[in-house]
Amino acid sequence: MPYDAYDEFAWLYSRDWGADFHRQALPALQEFCLARLPAGARVLDLCCGSGDLSALLLARGYRVTGLDGSREMLRYARRKAPGADLLQADARAFRLRPVFDAALATFDSLNHILRLEELIAVFDNVREALRSGGLFVFDLNMEPCFRTQWRGVSAGVEEDRVWVLRGSYDPEARIGRAAITVFRREQIWRRADLEILERCYSEQEVLAGLRQAGFREAESREAWELGMTGETGAGRSFFRAWK
């Protein structure tokens, strides 16, 4: 899926989804990552979306670089996190100097990488961007999430927007599909339709991929163990590895 396909619903993500997720995820990130960073650390917010995590990191005094493939997501990120350096690039192909103390990729961003070899390419790129001893933390939707949360229909209705999400999961292909229809009221109501795909990776695949990319001490924890409860944390795992 080309990353400009995310442009069409960046405004909805920014308004209704990104901030809410990161408020719920922040205690887990604090325990699993941020508590280990020095004051003023340089952090790469990989797949930063509309900048919600970048804004939280800036408020804690970190120096933040956000990277995302969607031009529209970055437009919202500039508003929410004006102190961050923001770059438009593909997570599978970027190159940055090894200046970062940590890299974070949140809200199942890396599930959107649909091939294992491309996920490992992301790991390679992140490792190259980290200082020696740098920390990489990310979360993924795991099999229990796809089997329980990616089925059926959900919707939201507000005065100026309506969205409907129809989820499905193919266990043989290990692909989750979210068909999203969005209506936005501007001068008239405008409709947009898109399909988002996510790949279900096993814990073993991810940990082996991190080791293949040269990371050490790779480990995972289920989100509920880190205090992230409710539907947002159900079937989600956080991964951590060091350069």
**pLDDT(224) > 60:** yes
Q: State the pLDDT at residue 25.
A: 94
Sign of CA dihedral 231, 239, 179, 11: positive
Residue 3 reports pLDDT greater than 70: no
> Which of 52-56, 178-182, 204-208 shows the lowest per-residue confidence on average (mean pLDDT)?
178-182
Q: Answer yes or no: are the C-beta atoms of 110 and 140 closer than 8 Å.
A: yes
Class in CATH terms, 3-142+201-242:
alpha beta
Phi and psi at 32, nearest 5°, equal -85, -20
The secondary structure of 49-92, three-state, reads: CCCHHHHHHHHCCCEEEEEECCHHHHHHHHHHCCCCEEEECCCC
* Integer Rg of the chain from CA: 17
Residue 80 has pLDDT above 60, yes or no: yes
Summarize the confidence of residues 104-129 as an average pLDDT.
98
Average predicted confidence (pLDDT) for the chain: 94
> pTM (2 decimals)?
0.95
What does the pLDDT read at residue 165? 93
- The tens digit of pLDDT for each residue in 156-196 reads 998 889 989 999 999 999 999 999 998 988 889 989 898 99
Q: For residues 72 and 49, what is the distance between their CA atoms, to the nearest angstrom?
A: 9
In this predicted structure, the answer to whether residue 2 has a pLDDT above a threshold of 60 is: no
Q: Cβ atoms within 10 A of the Cβ of 196, count?
A: 17
Per-residue confidence (pLDDT) for residue 13, from 0 to 100: 87
Q: Where are the domains of the chain?
A: 3-142+201-242, 145-198
What is the pLDDT at residue 8? 78
Task: Say if residue 5's pLDDT is above 80.
Answer: no
**Residues 27 and 228 sit within 8 Å (Cβ to Cβ):** yes
The structural architecture, per CATH, of the domain 145-198 is: Single Sheet (2.20)
Residues 12-47: tens digit of each pLDDT: 888 888 889 999 999 999 999 999 999 999 999 999
The confidence band for 197, taking pLDDT boundaries of 50, 70 and 90, is very high
4 pLDDT higher than 80: no
Q: Which residues contact 125 (CB under 8 A, 6 or more apart)?
A: 91, 92, 93, 94, 95, 96
111 against 3, higher pLDDT: 111
